[in-house]
Structure 1
Amino acid sequence: MNSLHFTAQSSSNGMVERDFTIGEIPGVLWSPPASGAAERAPLVLMGHGGGNHKKHPAMAGRAQRLVAACGFHVAVIDAPGHGDRPRTEHDEREIAELFRARAAGEPEGPIVVRYNAHLAELALPEWQVTLDALQELPEIGTDGPVGYFGLNMGTAIGLPFVAVEPRITAAVFGQHWPDVLAEQAKRITIPIEFALQWDDEHIPREAGLALFDAFASKEKTLHANAGRHKELPRFEADSAVRFFARHLGGPVTSQS
């Protein structure tokens, strides 16, 4: 019932792209060329942002860096109500309320926090099933290290997942409010890299700092960049590659 089925395969930019389904969960797995059981590699799970999908350019770009620089496997699944998954009436109501608040110049945070918390409840077991299925692949296996990389909604969904999933050994988070998430962050002790925008028009810097402070990790690094919410520098993706190379193992080529 929860087995993984590949539905399409292609190659580009030095990596193999395989679409898959696990029950009703659609996903994509990016891998190095000619990967197999004899050359197992670490796995990085990535969560996409709100309103986006598993193959959003940001996801493909980060995956290409991790595959090319480290030889890792990278997997993304569509969050509930996103990408190839249908929206529910609840999704439509929350999205309409978000657009209404945005048009009226009202704070978006309370709506985003509430909606993302709902999505996280649905997505957490889906990520656990996905990780189970991916680890059954001979090129990944059950004994290799696993990381998680997700910003914005990817943090809202990924942080609760990492808080209860002992197989995750390093994670990159950022750009979210501490409401709901701070208590769960206190349960996380693995190495963390955290990004925030100092001039974020939606998430006050005090809120971002509070979430970073909540992690119980002995090794945690804060990356604070000047700029608004959508102005996170591209070089933060390269920093994440180096972070995962340190903690999951693997080379970093000159492109990083």
Structure 2
Amino acid sequence: MKLIAETSSNGVVEREFRLGDVPGILWTTRPEPGQAPLVLMGHGGGQHKRAPGMVGRAHRLVLDGGFDVVTLDAPAHGGRPRTGLDEREIALMREAMTAGEPVGEIVARFNGDLAERAVPEWRAVLDAIDPEGPVGYLGIALATAIGVPLVAAEPRISAAVLGVFWGETLVETARQITVPIEFLHQWDDEHITRESGLSLFDAFGSKEKTLHASSGGHADVPRFEVDSAVRFFSRHLISAG
């Protein structure tokens, strides 16, 4: 893990790094990584590791929860190059949205391909940080497409906040997950039907899983869900640690 830059703001230290070709940020109040419970935080489609919402959530988790937080640019996002397949899938999504046609099949297929590339990257970052305490994962939309196979494959992750994604392609993998889950669904989502979103929640094999269903469309996830995520990780990471 190569440190690129280090800055601080409001008591939070931001360490920008690269692990191979993967750019990321470690947010912390501590001199060394791995000394606090760690939250891996993914971003939504079309966003990146330093999007305003990502920065805000990272600061909340660090200052209010006492966690370290890591964010990565997903493949084909942020400063990362796109393959020809990436460009074609993005063009198909835009065409479908412009025509008012369903995009779920395209998004699920494309995000599944991104997840195949991203899961090994997240696991390599975990190896590089080598956290002493428990690890959580936070991410909705694209970050759920990546997060479900990551949580299923990675025994170091002991709790996750996920949601706002189609269930059809993730149900079988979700059945393998038994860690505590907090799941977000937008009741009036213009892209994801209630049946599809709830089928994913239902599939998790976790004994403890909580559904947070809120009114509003796909992009209207309430800001207070960050408060809930801090409490959720405090219960399952800090208490466990």
1:133 and 2:113 matched: no
Give the Cα–Cα distance (whole angstroms) in 2 for the partners of residues 162 and 108 of structure 1.
25
Structure 1 unaligned runs (5+)? 136-140, 251-256
How do 1:151-162 residues align onto structure 2 when only pairs under 5 Å count? 151-162=140-151
Give secondary structure in 2 for the equivalent of 1:6: strand
Residue 44 of structure 2: aligned partner: 49
TM norm structure 2:
0.97
Residue 185 of structure 1: aligned partner: 174
Paired residue type of 1:68? L
Paired residue type of 2:13? V
Give the Cα–Cα distance (whole angstroms) in 2 for the partners of residues 121 and 179 of structure 1.
17
Residue 63 of structure 1: aligned partner: 58
Give the Cα–Cα distance (whole angstroms) in 2 for the partners of residues 158 and 100 of structure 1.
27
Residue 96 of structure 2: aligned partner: 101
Superposed CA offset, 1:223-246 (max 9, x none):
000111111110001100100001
Residue 24 of structure 2: aligned partner: 27
Identity of aligned residues (%): 60
Deviation at 1:36, TM superposition (A): 4.0
Residue 187 of structure 2: aligned partner: 198
Aligned with residue 5 of structure 2, among 8, 28, 40: 8
Deviation at 1:14, TM superposition (A): 2.2
How many residues are treated as equivalent by the alignment? 239
Moved over 2 A (4+): 34-37
Deviation at 1:134, TM superposition (A): 1.4
Aligned with residue 211 of structure 1, among 200, 205, 208: 200
Residue 150 of structure 1: aligned partner: 139
Give the Cα–Cα distance (whole angstroms) in 1 for the partners of residues 169 and 120 of structure 2.
18
Deviation at 1:65, TM superposition (A): 0.6
Deviation at 1:13, TM superposition (A): 2.6
- Root-mean-square deviation over aligned CA pairs: 1.2
Aligned with residue 81 of structure 1, among 76, 83, 86: 76
Give secondary structure in 2 for the equivalent of 1:170: strand
Give secondary structure in 2 for the equivalent of 1:221: strand
TM norm structure 1:
0.91
Paired residue type of 2:211? L
Give the Cα–Cα distance (whole angstroms) in 2 for the partners of residues 12 and 36 of structure 1.
17
